[in-house]
């Protein structure tokens, strides 16, 4: 993909302290967003990250995750994507996302 096709939409924040990250991902909608991004291992279009909520509610959840430093917003060829900042979160809080997403994947498989 050409470099001019990818634009970081918002300033990227540092990964927050563990309390802020846990507060961001404890919500079921945000946990599902993180789970989908983690499992995809690539940026995903925003609409692929949630079910059963409206766009403005999804935007609020994306903002909470960005402010905690867990995700970043990208525009690729005019489309908005969310990207999990896995390397940065792993560096700041080793093993946290793998553990949380592992549990979320287990729970999703039981439903």
Domain ranges of the chain: 8-78
Greater model confidence, 21 or 11: 21
Q: Is the pLDDT of residue 55 over 90?
A: yes
- What are the structure tokens assigned to 2, written together? 């050409």
**pTM higher than 0.85 for the full model?**
yes
**What was the pLDDT predicted at 2?**
47
| Averaged pLDDT for residues 15-42 | 97
Largest CA distance in the chain: 42
CB 53 within 8 A of CB 67: no
Strand, helix or coil for residue 55: helix
| Averaged pLDDT for residues 80-102 | 97
């Amino acid at each position: 993909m050409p470099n001019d096709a990818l634009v970081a939409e918002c300033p990227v924040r540092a990964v927050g302290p563990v309390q802020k990250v846990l507060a961001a991902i404890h919500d079921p909608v945000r946990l599902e967003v993180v789970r989908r991004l983690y499992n995809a291992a690539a940026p995903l279009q925003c609409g692929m990250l949630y079910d059963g909520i409206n766009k403005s509610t999804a935007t609020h959840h994306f903002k909470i995750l960005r402010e905690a430093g867990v995700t970043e917003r990208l525009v690729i060829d005019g489309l908005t994507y969310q990207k999990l900042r896995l390397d940065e979160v792993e560096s700041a809080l080793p093993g946290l996302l793998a553990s949380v997403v592992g549990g979320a994947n287990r729970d999703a498989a039981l439903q």
